[in-house]
Every structure is written in C-alpha cells, then in structure tokens.
Structure 1
Amino acid sequence: MTETNTTTAELAELEGLVARLGELTHHVTEQELGAEVPDEQIADILYAAARLFSAKRDRVGKIAWPIREDALNATETVVLVTALLDAADVNLFDMAIWYRRAE
C-alpha cells in the first residue's frame, strides 16, 4: 500500500471514529453518565483533538475554529478553556499576550 492510500484509509478511519465518538458522547451526556468516564479517557480525547487542530493550523496557517454555534454553550467553553489554561500553567495575562502574538 502506498503512503497516499494509507493516508486516505487512515483519514477515513478517523472520520468513522469521530462520528462514533460523537454518538457515544451524546448518549453518555444524555444519560448523565459523564462522571463515570475516567479522567484519563477525557484527557486523551482532548489531547488528540488539540494535536489535530494544532497540526492543521501549523500546516495551513490561521484557520477559524470549526465549531457550530450550537456545539458548545458558554459554560462548556469556559470550563474547557479554564482547565486547559490551568493544565498548561498559563494565566489570563499570559494568554492575552499569546493571543495577540498569533495574529
């Protein structure tokens, strides 16, 4: 199998996994089972998504975050951003400097 075929197959597999993850996540949250999901699994999902986004942005330049308006509410967004900032030991002042640098 050539590299192009492998890449195409891997991208198709990733597409299927993402769709399935969305279905499972919807079911788990609808059933209010979020507390039952191990922290490590949630972290691994976030790491994977962040790496994919960062890799794409590095390759094609600044892109708009492809989030539908109804995908995350304000609370979900702030909870996620706060956790990511805390994990990276970044305060809001540092983030403001970094944010302006990226423009």
Structure 2
Amino acid sequence: MSRSSNVAFIDAAQSPESELADIGLRLELIVTAAINSDIPPNWESLPFTELLTPLTKLYAVACEAAGREITPVTQEATPTEVVMLACALLRAQDLNPFDLALWFSRATHSNNLPR
C-alpha cells in the first residue's frame, strides 16, 4: 500500500487527535521500557530527529492556531530534562540565549497557562 493510501486509510479510521493520542501512549510505553531495560538501547542511534522534528512542527502550528502557548509537557518531565531538550533544540538551529529571550517575551505567552 502506498503512503498516500495509508494516510487516507488512517484519516478515515481515526481523527488526528485520536491517532496522535494512541501514538503518544504507545511511545510512553516504549520509552519507559527502554529507560528501565536491563539491556539499554544504543542511545545515540535512537531516532530523535525523526520524532522531534514533526512534533516541533505540530506544536508550532497548534500554538499559532490557538493564539497562545499550549503546555507541551507534564510535571513528569523534570526541569533538568526540559532544559536539556530546550538547549539541544536551540543548538540544533544555531540559536542562542538572546534569540530565546526574544521569543520568550512574545505576546502569545500567557502567565496563566495550566501547569
């Protein structure tokens, strides 16, 4: 079956929200198993770019459509983990703390976001 056929089949079967929720639950199970495994995976070979690039694009579109930031992680992610990812994302695009400061103060940020 071609990719376009797969997409059409998936769209007819489930809404994007439902399908992404299913993927999120499955990903959580896979990640938990990998972290807790007696035989850990080759961490550097994990497909971070294939996972984070589409999620980054989806998150940006969703925030723009909502006109505000949407809370991207739960309290389960520690501050250290969040900052590690934020720094890696900035470095991946050759951005610096000044660039971050410009975006951090954008009007779409709301101090009333759920935590």
Q: CA deviation at 1:77?
A: 1.2
Normalised by the size of structure 2, how large is the TM-score? 0.70
RMSD over aligned Cα atoms: 2.5
Highest relative contact order (Cα 8 Å, sep 6+), 1 or 2? 2
Match of 1:97 among 96, 99, 102: 102
Partner residue of 1:38?
A: 45
Unaligned runs of 5+ in 1: none
Partner residue of 1:22?
A: 28
Identity fraction in percent: 24
Q: CA deviation at 1:102?
A: 4.0
- Name the CA distance, whole Å, in 1 between partners of 2:92 and 2:57: 15
User: Residue 97 and residue 7 in structure 1: after superposition, are their counterparts in 2 closer, same or farther (change >3 A)?
Assistant: farther
Aligned residues between the structures: 98
Greater percentage in helix: 1
Unaligned runs of 5+ in 2: 1-7, 109-115
Normalised by the size of structure 1, how large is the TM-score? 0.77
